[in-house]
Chain A
Amino acid sequence: MEPDLGELAIETRELRKQYGRIVALTGLTMTVRRGEVFGFLGPNGAGKTTAVKLLLGLSRPTSGRGQVLGAPLGGVATRQRIGYLPELFRYQGWMTAREVLALHCELARLPRPSWPAEVAEALELVGLADRSNDRVETFSKGMQQRLGLGVALLGKPELVVLDEPTSALDPVGRQDVRGIIGELRSRGVTVFLNSHLLTEVERVCDRVAIVDRGGVVAELAMTDLVAEGGIRIRVTGPVDAKVIAGRFGPTRQDGEWLVVASIADAQVPALVAELVAAGGAVHAVVPEHRTLEDRFLALLGAAPAQVAAPAQVAAPVGGSADPGTLP
């Protein structure tokens, strides 16, 4: 079922981008609905930033086509309705934060009377109000990224594209960004979020696309991910628990735990009853919440060290962040 074009914020078909002999995107096909917070995930060099540059018309595709906010890629006028925080963010160091924001109001062709309010609101939102008259070159990296976020939010854009918006931010800043994204979602703004911070994406996104080597390897809604869970169960006693559990779903041993993947919630009591009937002692049943990280790693078939820094990925309770338990 194809959503009609008016509902789509972004639609691309077989977008390909080649830099000389390097193919950055092999054929990107994806859709982002209006009002959605869309996560774009992938390992380093997967082509995320390249895709964003194509969407914004900062770079021209080698082949393929796409639309953003109903207009073909590369249109100059469309950019008036898009806010963008580049991965490599940098603003005029000799200007104050306030002046940079005013400059972008002007570049975005916002009506002049609205500038002071827009600037003040952006400063407030990103927490730079008390440094607004300092030159940007005196800012820390994180403060500059906050400024960039403020710039991206000027003029109530319909689409906000954030390329790793928290790369320089402290934990409080990251939380602020999550708050801002939530706020954008409640206003019906479409957000396109590039990231490899999986927990972050997990918390804010409605849908994600996972890209690898220049193409989408999976597109999934966050709700699917949660439903894909299973359980882990600890059983002792004279039973072959693995055989019994195997009738309910794919099963594997993990230390003294038995992991039963994709067992329906309603089936769990039946499984426990059978185990007990067979003489087993059931010590614990824990729902296994499947994390985006599991999915990510499974899809990319990579060891964790090669992908996003595992240190940044907090394992939720019951999750399996332990490399030894990867599916």
Chain B
Amino acid sequence: MHELSLIQGLMNRLEEVVKENKAKRVKSIWLKVGPLSGAEPQLLKEAFNFFSKDGIAAGAELHIDSPLVTLKCDKCGAEAQREYFTLSCTECGAGLPISDGSEALMLEQLELEME
């Protein structure tokens, strides 16, 4: 699973942002992880716990926003919000388009503790 490499990449990025802002440490992190991003929120959290034992993000809080995907059926018009993406309409069985944001893998926001 590549969640470990993703978090390693995140850690490098945190180092940069802390330095740029002359901050002391990272307090909170907000990620957005879509259902079709290829990454699992739970595995990301576990990887984060592993890599944040010490250093600038020690004790930081990781918030993961896994957006619900709104799917609208072209055929019958039924709308459904789903955490996990499915391929067909539960009402009529027609194929559903995949909505924007379902592939998101974003570092949205940080809270830094300053000197």
Q: Do A and B come together as binding partners?
A: no
A-binding residues in B (CB < 8 A): none
